[in-house]
Structure 1
Amino acid sequence: MKMRKKADLPSKLCQTCGLPFNWRKKWEKNWDEVKYCSQRCRSNSQSSRSGKSQT
């Protein structure tokens, strides 16, 4: 398999924080379903949907 440069990897914008994040090997099989850049953004998104307020 040919190595890719980091600049050649696909990227997306996180739905919670809006920051760009790049493809990772662990997301190889489900890249189309990845929406968040981190577990923290994923949990923040779920808590904001359930109506909890953070103070």
Structure 2
Amino acid sequence: MAHAKPHLPQKTCAVCGRPFAWRRKWARCWDEVRYCSAACRRRRTRQTAS
């Protein structure tokens, strides 16, 4: 059974607008994280390039 993690900080994705929570792999760069996933990061790059 998975446990809830209500105490983790959250941000809103710059592309899709959905909230996403802190992940351990973002521990060192949480201030720079802007996208919830690699798919949103790619989509944003494509939109700006057009």
Q: Same fold (TM over 0.5)?
A: yes
- RMSD between aligned residues: 0.8
Q: Deviation of residue 43 (structure 1)?
A: 0.2
Task: Write out aligned runs for 1:35-46 (5 A).
Answer: 35-46=34-45
Task: Write out aligned runs for 1:15-54 (5 A).
Answer: 15-51=14-50
Residue type matched to 1:42 in 2?
A: R
Aligned length: 47
Unaligned stretches of 5+ residues in structure 2: none
| Cα deviation 1:10-39 (Å, max 9, x = unaligned) | 000000000000000000000000000000
Residue type matched to 2:8 in 1?
A: L
* Identical aligned residues as a percent: 47
Q: Distance in 2 between matches of 1:25 and 1:43?
A: 22
Unaligned stretches of 5+ residues in structure 1: none
Runs of 4+, deviation exceeding 2 Å:
none
